[in-house]
Amino acid sequence: QIEEEQTYLLRPGATKDEVKIALGINVGSDAYDTAGAAYDFIGLFRTEFLYMENDHMPTEEEQFSVYRRILEGAKGKPVTLRTLDIGGDKTLPYFSLPKEDNPFLGERALRLCFSHMEIFETQMRAALRASVYGNLQIMFPMVGSMEDIRRAKEAVRKVMDALKQEGIAYDPKVKIGVMIEVPSLALQADLVAQEVDFASIGSNDLTQYVCAADRMNAAMEPYYQTYAPAMVRLLGFVFESFQKANKPISVCGEMAGNPKGAALLVGLGARKLSMNAAMLAAVKAELARHRIDELEKMAKTCQKLCTEKEIKEQMEM
């Protein structure tokens, strides 16, 4: 089977009946590996490494040169740069985070950036300056409300205005999007779709928050159910909402890189998936085994089932 999968490396993503599925890669370092596979976009560029592998907050120049290199390397393919997602489990040795009882429910990611605007603005200046070297999209993590979206967009506008004043070039048409990984945002996906250019579902955190089960706690594994009935229903609603609004929606959590998970997502309405490059061939091979109507039928059945166990059985097709 592995050998058969390898024949899919360079093929585009599609179902058996040629419904095109755009496949992207998740990148979490400067020197990333595409595993020899063809891909359509970088669906998640995790910028944390820049901060975690340093002994100081990366400067605007340090960030700019890395972002520029990634954008140039992508050769015109869209690159979705996610702004700093620190806090929760991720800490920085040179920066003291607030002491909290529940850090995953606390000052994490965008929330931390809002309380340290200088960190946020430095990153966006670097990203916007790099935007002229490729096809950049900016995405915010841990967004929980429309207020969060508007506040983040306002911060981008402010940085754009400052660059303009200084006569520094940037792409004014940079697309602005959000991660859908907090249930409060997923449940108003129809409204969110009106407010953003695109979104990407972070199924890792969405599972953690929908199931109230810590993703880092091995003892909570039975409760951390990516294929829980609530997840399957919620994902269907999010895809439908973005399709109605004619806005791009992708998935960049681990679910997208699991071949059976990818097949379910396509059945639920996904047409864009982003994953670790090492999973591309296996996902392409799995998608090519099924017609879209078969996947849709399977997904519809899953939305009526009562337990994750039943859903997983159904996913075996």
> What's the rounded Cα separation, in Å, for the pair 194 and 173?
17
Burial of 306 (0-12, 13-18, 19+ CB in 10 A): exposed
- Reading the block at residue 9, the tokens are 């490396």
Applying CB under 6 A, among 203, 226, 241, 250 the residue interacting with ligand PEP is 203
Q: Which is nearer to Mg ion, 201 or 287 (CB)?
A: 201
Give the residue with the Cβ less far from ligand PEP, 13 or 202. 202
Range in contact with ligand PEP (rule: CB under 6 A) among 132-140, 155-163, 196-204, 285-293: 196-204
Footprint of ligand PEP on 143-162 (CB under 6 A): none
With CB under 5 to 8 Å by kind, the binding choice for 286 among ligand PEP, Mg ion, none is none
Q: Which is nearer to Mg ion, 148 or 205 (CB)?
A: 205
Stretch that binds ligand PEP, among 162-170, 198-206, 220-228, 257-265 (CB under 6 A): 198-206
**202 lies in the site for ligand PEP, by CB under 6 A:** yes
Specify the stretch interacting with ligand PEP by CB under 6 A; choose among 110-118, 169-177, 199-207, 278-286.
Answer: 199-207
Q: Which of 40, 107, 148, 205 binds ligand PEP (CB under 6 A)?
A: 205
Residue number, 28 or 172, with CB nearest to ligand PEP: 28
Spell out, one character per residue from 249 to 288, where the chain touches ligand PEP: x when CB under 6 A holds, - when not. ---xx-----------------------------------
Closest approach of Cβ 178 to Mg ion, in Å? 11
130 versus 179: smaller Cβ distance to Mg ion? 179
- Least spacing, CB of residue 157 vs Mg ion, in Å: 25
Instruction: State in angstroms the smallest separation of the CB of 165 from ligand PEP.
Output: 34
Q: For ligand PEP, which residue of 40, 85, 286, 308 counts as binding (CB under 6 A)?
A: 85
Please tell me whether residue 188 binds ligand PEP under the rule CB under 6 A. Answer: no
Nearest CA-CA partner of 273 in 294, 259, 291, 292: 259
Q: Do residues 200 and 248 make contact, with C-beta atoms less than 8 angstroms apart?
A: no
| Cα dihedral value 298, 304, 307, 309, nearest 10 | -20
Restricted to residues 38-57, the positions that interact with ligand PEP (CB under 6 A) are: 44, 46
Q: Which residues bind Mg ion (CB under 5 A)?
A: 181, 202, 205
Q: Residue numbers of the site for ligand PEP (CB under 6 A)?
A: 44, 46, 85, 181, 202-205, 252-253
